[in-house]
A and B are shown apart, each in its own frame.
Chain A
Amino acid sequence: MQIEMSRRKFLQGTVAMSIVGGSAVSATNLLAKDDKVEKKLTFTTKTGEAKELKLVPTLCEMCVNKCAAIARMEDGVVTKLDPNPMFPKSKNMLCPRGNAGIQALYDPDRLKYPLVRIGEKGDGKYKRVTWDEAYEAILNGTDRFKGLAAILEEEEDNRSTIGYCAGEGMAEHTYKVFMQDKLGSSNFVNHASICLQTTVSGYALTIGGYGQADLENANYVIMAGANRAEAIVTPDTMDLFKRTKGRGAKLIVVDPRFTNTASHADKWLPIEVGTDLAFVLALTYVAIEENIYNKKFVELNFNGFEEYKEHILTSKYTPEWAEKITGIRASDIRQVARDFMAAAPRAIYYQGRRTAWSKQDFQLRRAQAIFSAMGGGIDREGGIIFGKKLPLGKHNINTPMYDNAQERIDKKAAAIIGGSGSWIGWRNTILEEKAAYPVRSMFVYKQNPMLSIPNTAKTKQLFEKMDLVVVIDTMPSDTAMMADVILPECTYLEREDPVKSFGSAQPAIALRQKVIDPMYDTKPVIEIIRGLAEKVSRPLFEITKKFDSEVQDAIKERGEESVYKEDGFDLADAFRHSQEEINKHMVVEKYGEEAYKTLLKEGVYYPNMDKFWKQISNNEFQWYPKKERFYSVVEGEFKSDVFHDTCVDEKEIAVLKKEFKTPSGKVECVLPNLAKRGVSPMPSWDDTQFTQIPEGKFKFITGRHAQFTQNSSSNNVMLLELMPENYLWINKRVAESKGIKFGDNVEVKSKVGQITIKAYPTEKIGPNNLFFIHGFGADSDGLTFAKGNGAADNHIIEDIIEPVFGSAAMHETIVEVRKV
């Protein structure tokens, strides 16, 4: 049955939803659905006939990009999200996901109330409780699970027994402040090790920063593995595809799949999965052998180049050598190296984003960075730029010291484990009981490890093993189903987030403002944390008093109240101010009241915005006049502490650099400090790290597309309409030989699991590989629209760890396929 909902009916529906479900004591399904929603439900918004209209500038949160949007509110309902032209990063665009943000707000499956588990773990039986009851359950547990107080008592105040994770987001830092700085756990994992850890670290250690590819001005771009047409990144996607197809930028796409990005390329080089490093080393070989690199730049800005040169030549990384490994013709490799250097310094080997591919990722990113730098395109227009970042004011936090809290457990999972950890290494350390102490609780914020971490079966075991799992999310994800306590966060359109400064050649500050008040009984994470902090602060301090000798001594000296208040043990003190107050303070401190008013009104602020910003045509805008932009920021050297990506913690990169920075401040070809940790100091190909494909089997790869963001948008009806399920890409001739036709159900099986999915025979993938898009295959009963659509990649991806930073190696899994 198809239920149609007009806007009016929909409005009534939302009102009804906030009333029904009030019987808090009765057992309710996790769903707590008020109207019976059929899977085919369709509803749409429409702008128009409103009596009351409000336009609120905000920032999108449908993916990590943070595009500026203007929300159109009509009679209290958000009816349209339009792009906000004031923001240089998103250049007046909203992608399909951004446009579908309304459906995330009005998703009937949203988590609406705090819930406490009353059934078995994973069966979806919860009861609705008040916020205070939820906090109480976290502190003292129920008859079903243990609370924090009991766990910390038993672990003698080792705060690190409480593990926690987070997905990328503007309030990730707020959550971290509570879990790490205030509550005191060292065991944090976030999305970095399943995303861009290796490329960010590789570039930071080699050229001083990840930087930003200036695709607006580059003349030659090698895009390997990255798929900017389908995994949209701002401003790269917008800048690049206006200039391809013979219109200024030559694009070379290196990818085992023919993607939408490849469809815009001048040349598509299908490469054997896991061999990109050999390709880059051969490019480097050609540049050295033919003496076509930028010698002046190298002389002035490189450290250890002679040694690297010697290494490349003596290792005989020739195009012919690489051809055998990569499957790319030696003549093509020579041509690409020559063309790249001829176009340099306006030539970029694109850094990449989700680089959790293979075991050699870190060396690959180092090799890319050095090759790019050999052309001289670093810290200058048309190359990799570092730009400028507008400073914001400070917000200080009083951090307590816990004597008994221990260091993180996954230090041995790889050569270098930073503050954001190795997700797989961390999980496996616990499961294999190799940790120095038990991790007994898990707090999850805005992440869905059940679907985002390779080897789902193990992630499930992890949650089953925990005494207490707390999930903060907007949707009843597969991970929420494993929670003991669920705390419903409001969506991004219902909250103000920490103000953010976006560094680039055209830097700006942007603000995610609240568009409407939170629906149901949901709250922004800062309020969730404030409430929790108030509840647990005193009782947990009692445990610290009992076990922490330093605190005991301090109390003897200065008295309990003084230690509690002045030493930061009052966990709630960091969250007393509202987000709005903090943001105002951070902006006014640096730029004054007028700037803050502009920020509220326009959603964006940068100095001289009133003079610089211009609309040139319907599609063109000026944010900074060209001569005012910050393409080059550091004279004489290109080390930069400015970091542009919102995905990785800047503080962490700063720590990394401190640990590894040589006094030279130059491009580092050789990293002796890495050698001390058993990592090759120079990019080198290692045959033993390459996974061969046995006869009759395939190497599985995963990737993204433009209508979905990982799995967080998997229940969005607008996006599901654009792509309702994922399909298995299988080479057409291979499919024929196996009698597999379009739409046939096939089973894909690896060492760790198996899935069933429909087949899409195509020539866009080679005979050695299978592929399907990430983000489908949710299993949660709470997700009416997402459940059972297609398959989830991490059910079959093996938990193989990249040895340098402990990233996931998601393209190393060998699978077999059969028709079912």
Chain B
Amino acid sequence: MARYGMALDYKNCIDCKACESACKEENGVLLGADKHRIWVGTKEVEGEFPFLSISSSGFVPSQCQHCEAAPCQEVCPTNATYYDENGVVRVDADKCILCTYCMNACPYDARYVDDRTMTVDKCNFCSDTRLARGETTTACQNTCPTKVRTFGDLDDPYSEISELLRRRDHYSLKAHLGTKPKLFYLT
């Protein structure tokens, strides 16, 4: 069993959204601006032309953080949201009753309603596509032009992600909430 996580060298990100289209094609995510498992956060640059603050701009890719203490899992009344054996936070479509408690509970806004299955969907690290086939990458990592993402087993001390996290400073989003995200932003 693995404990999957992802490190993001987010300074590489150019907001091209290759990750987003790769994810949608791989996982059959519905089209529509409000339907996405992953996205790139952007911020309007600060200042007045021509004096703009370069450091105020930038791109932050985001998605389900695969928390070890996931609020969405805690509030799910039917156990549709669960941790699989690899620590991936998954959704069992058969159990989901679309109460949307998980959507409200998630501090990362990482969940959306899939209109076809009428369930609350989210990133699952390509668990039922690529990982199920025995591949060891996610679609977003594989395709990224500037190689923002490193996916791997946090329990394996020799894995690339473990090495990267030992070597490089990093932080997690909203760490103060105690959700223990498994997405790490490299500084």
Contacts and interface: CB of A to CB of B under 8 A. Distances in A.
Nearest to A718: B21
B143 to A, nearest CB: 5
Nearest to B50: A270
B16 A706 contact: yes
Contacts of A718: 21, 24-25, 31
Interface in A207-263: 229-230, 232, 234, 237-238, 241-242, 244-245, 247, 258, 260-263
Interface in B107-139: 115-116, 128-130, 132-133, 136-137, 139
B15 A260 contact: yes
B30 A44 contact: yes
Given A95-B145, A762-B44, A42 B15 contact: no
A99 B12 contact: no
B57 interface: yes
Contacts of B145: 93-95, 232, 234, 237-238
A297 B133 CA distance: 56
Nearest to A268: B54
Interface string A588-627: 0000000000000000000000000000011110000000
A99 B22 contact: yes
A6 interface: yes
A270 B52 CA distance: 10
A697 B28 CA distance: 47
B173 interface: no
A762 B47 CA distance: 10
Contacts of A93: 18, 143-147
A344 B94 CA distance: 62
A619 B160 CA distance: 10
B15 A229 contact: yes
A43 B28 CA distance: 8
A4 B21 contact: no
B186 to A, nearest CB: 11
- Classify chain A's interface size: 35 or more
Contacts of B146: 93, 237-238, 241-242
A706 B143 CA distance: 14
A71 to B, nearest CB: 11
A234 B145 CA distance: 9
B148 to A, nearest CB: 9
A619 B129 contact: no
Contacts of B141: 618-619
A95 B16 contact: yes
Residue among A234, A258, A762 facing the most chain B CB atoms (10 A cut-off): A258
B16 A719 contact: no
Contact of A722 (B17, B115, B129, B139): B17
A44 B25 contact: yes
B52 A83 contact: no
Contacts of B89: none
A659 B116 CA distance: 64
Interface in B1-54: 9, 11-12, 14-18, 20-22, 24-33, 44-45, 47-50, 52, 54
Residue among A43, A100, A765 facing the most chain B CB atoms (10 A cut-off): A100
A79 interface: yes
Contacts of B147: 93, 238, 242, 619-620
A706 B28 contact: no
Nearest to B31: A42
Given A80-B25, A722-B21, A270 B129 contact: no
Interface string A70-105: 000000000111110000000011111011101000
Contact of B116 (A4, A98, A244): A4
A232 to B, nearest CB: 6
A241 B18 contact: no
A241 B12 contact: yes
B142 A83 contact: yes
Contact of A80 (B11, B26, B59, B149): B26
Contacts of B71: none
A707 interface: yes
Given A44-B25, A618-B137, A263 B16 contact: no
Interface stretch (A45-53, A451-459, A552-560, A809-817): A45-53
B126 to A, nearest CB: 9
A92 B145 CA distance: 8
B184 interface: no
Given A82-B142, A706-B15, A763 B49 contact: yes
A729 B42 CA distance: 17
A95 B47 CA distance: 31
A731 interface: yes
Contact of A247 (B11, B128, B151): B11
A717 interface: yes
Given A4-B116, A766-B49, A47 B33 contact: no
A764 B26 contact: no
Contacts of B143: 82-83, 93-95, 98-99
Contacts of A102: 25
24 contacts: A45-B28, A47-B25, A47-B130, A48-B129, A79-B25, A81-B25, A94-B22, A98-B143, A102-B25, A237-B146, A242-B9, A262-B57, A263-B54, A263-B58, A263-B59, A265-B54, A618-B141, A618-B160, A619-B141, A620-B147, A707-B16, A718-B31, A764-B52, A766-B50
Instruction: Return the 3 tightest CB-CB contacts between A and B, nearest first.
Output: A46-B28, A229-B14, A42-B31
Given A719-B21, A724-B33, 4 more contacts: A42-B32, A44-B30, A618-B137, A764-B52
